[in-house]
Amino acid sequence: MTHAKLNRELHIKYWQRCLNSLLPTGYTTTDSTRMSLGYFILSALDILSAPPLPSAQRTQIRNWILCCQHPSGGFCGSPNHKFPDAYYGDGKEEMDPANLPATLFALMSLGFVGRMEEVKRVKCLRWLKSLQRDDGSFGELVRQGRIEGGRDMRYCFVAVSVRWLLRGYIKIDSVEDIDIEALVAHIRAGQTFDGGVSESSQHEAHAGYTYCAIACLSLLGRLPHSSGAQTDSEISPGLTNISGTIRWLVSRQLQYHNEDDNSDDEGPGFEQSQNTGICANTEPPLESLLINENMFVGFNGRVNKRADTCYAFWVVASLSMIGEVELVDPEPMRRFLTELTQHQIGGFGKCPGNPPDIYHSYLGLAALATLGEADLKQFDATLCISVEQRQRLEILGEEALTSRNYTCFSREE
């Protein structure tokens, strides 16, 4: 039996390549979310305790992030989503509006190379407030007075994280806070009959949305205790069916049989997504589920889907925030990630045999770090960064509040 191991040096090399060389043209389809790629790169190097960046490079990166800041508050996904500064003014601010996820990733990235003082806090928080709908949900941008984007849990989580980073709950400069009760009500309404969370209770439960809902509640201090005990009866807990949610989360684990893998997306190789026919007799006998010491356990994001690297993080992190991470046996998951999706050039692929990509390479590390991987920094599942970086962000956020420039930006302009 080979011993499952994370190859730290190889991962550092992979991420340094992502940082220092041009991403291939194929990444053009991620141009609109380029800021998130930047955050994954900087944070991965942090989790891996890679050598620090030269200060000239830090300055360049900081300047690039700030050049994506929108004059009306918030950030754009890449310079391609923004006009050169000279074009703004006289009502043109809405030509290419700021984007909510891009704003979170910009602020998080800035935490690695700069300070929060450089952010237009008041404008950003006012803009954030303008993204919230009456039903409590958030859109991703506002354009000509219209809130655009889905109502899913991702934007809820992102909005609350931005509020946390900028200390939006502290009342200064008469910025009105977002409507927390409406937001929690929206999250409560997104819980599905089978215990997961979706964009609404009428859609299919999804591990990514479940994570976003739980992380959002965690930042708001609105997670119920897993035993069901209520601490404060005045406040409605954010999850309506905690035991159902735990059952749904642990059910995302599935045993992976290496030998009969093939590349067909929903094909054999996975116990629970094996059958595309209707005959019961094509099911594996239940006894074949018996445990063995070389077992690989992956995670899927929805019932009866195939295992995918990123869902290891979304599920394990969700359980960790609820305080029940030990319900997952770490070794079989480590084996799945380190032996099957870890790539020989570093990084992780989506599924066994896939080439690495930035998104799955980051979430593979995040999953291992959440379970306490020795070679990685201690990890904060809620913000999906190292504990050390979370502490740094808290300090930067507090420091910035004492800076006149940061808190009074709108009055000076």
Partner 1 sequence: MGKYEGDPAWDDVVPIPQDDGEGALAQIAYADEYAEAMGYLRAIVAAKEHSSRVLDLTVEIISMNPAHYTVWLYRASTIFALDHPIQQEIEWVNEVALDNEKNYQIWHHRQLLIDHLYPSISSDPVALQKLANSEIAFLTLMFNSDSKNYHVWSYRQYLVRKLNLFNASEIKSIEALLKVDVRNNSAWSHRFFIVFSNPEYATPGSAATAYDPGIPDALLDCEIEFSKAAIFEAPQNQSPWNYLRGVLRKGGRPLATQECFASEFAKIESEEEVKSSHALDFLADLWNEEGETEKADKALKLLGDKYDPIRKNYWEWRRKALKAA
Judged by the rule CB under 5 A, the positions of this chain that interact with Zn ion are 308, 310, 350
Q: Is 409 helix (H, G, I), strand (E, B) or coil?
A: helix
Other beta carbons within 10 Å of 193: 10
Structure tokens at 91: 């009502």
Q: Which does 308 bind (CB under 5 to 8 A by kind): partner 1, Zn ion, none?
A: Zn ion
Q: Is 359 left (phi over 0), alpha (psi -120 to 50) or beta?
A: alpha
Show contacts with partner 1 in window 255-274 (CB under 8 A). Answer: 255, 265-266, 272-273
Structure tokens at 67: 């050049």
Q: Which does 225 bind (CB under 5 to 8 A by kind): partner 1, Zn ion, none?
A: none
Minimum CB distance to partner 1 smaller for 175 or for 362: 362
Q: Cα separation of 17 and 15, whole Å?
A: 5
Q: Which does 236 bind (CB under 5 to 8 A by kind): Zn ion, partner 1, none?
A: none
Q: Cα separation of 403 and 399, whole Å?
A: 7
Q: Considering only residues 49, 130, 201, 354, which one is a binding residue for partner 1 as defined by CB under 8 A? A: 201
Show contacts with partner 1 in window 66-95 (CB under 8 A). Answer: 67, 79-84, 87, 92, 95
286 binds partner 1 (CB under 8 A): yes
Q: How far is the CB of 334 from partner 1 (least distance, A)?
A: 14
Contact 245, 236 (CB under 8 A): no
Query: What does the DSSP 8-state code read for residue 337?
Result: I
- Give me the 313-352 binding string for partner 1, x by CB under 8 A, dash otherwise: -----------x-xxxx--x--------------------
Q: How far is the CB of 360 from Zn ion (least distance, A)?
A: 6
Q: Considering only residues 141, 183, 376, 381, which one is a binding residue for partner 1 as defined by CB under 8 A? A: 141
Q: How far is the CB of 407 from partner 1 (least distance, A)?
A: 27
The position carrying tokens 């602020």 is 107
Minimum CB distance to partner 1 smaller for 335 or for 407: 335
137 binds partner 1 (CB under 8 A): no
Q: Is 340 helix (H, G, I), strand (E, B) or coil?
A: helix
Q: Which does 310 bind (CB under 5 to 8 A by kind): partner 1, Zn ion, none?
A: Zn ion
Q: How far is the CB of 62 from Zn ion (least distance, A)?
A: 30
Q: Considering only residues 143, 176, 258, 398, which one is a binding residue for partner 1 as defined by CB under 8 A? A: 143
Minimum CB distance to Zn ion smaller for 197 or for 363: 363
Show contacts with partner 1 in window 158-197 (CB under 8 A). Answer: 188-189, 191-195
Show contacts with partner 1 in window 5-44 (CB under 8 A). Answer: 18-19, 22-25, 27-35, 37-38, 41-42
- Give me the 369-398 binding string for partner 1, x by CB under 8 A, dash otherwise: ------------------------------
Q: Cα separation of 158 and 143, whole Å?
A: 19
104 binds partner 1 (CB under 8 A): no
Q: Cα separation of 371 and 215, whole Å?
A: 17
Residue 178: closest CA among 200, 198, 155, 197:
155
Structure tokens at 104: 């979170």
Q: Which does 22 bind (CB under 5 to 8 A by kind): Zn ion, partner 1, none?
A: partner 1
Q: Cα separation of 61 and 110, whole Å?
A: 8
Residue 42: closest CA among 60, 21, 65, 19:
19
DSSP letters, 40-105, are HHHHHHHHTTPPPPPHHHHHHHHHHHHHTB-TTSSB-SSGGGS--GGG--TT-TTSS--BHHHHHH
Q: How far is the CB of 154 from Zn ion (least distance, A)?
A: 14
Q: Is 299 helix (H, G, I), strand (E, B) or coil?
A: strand
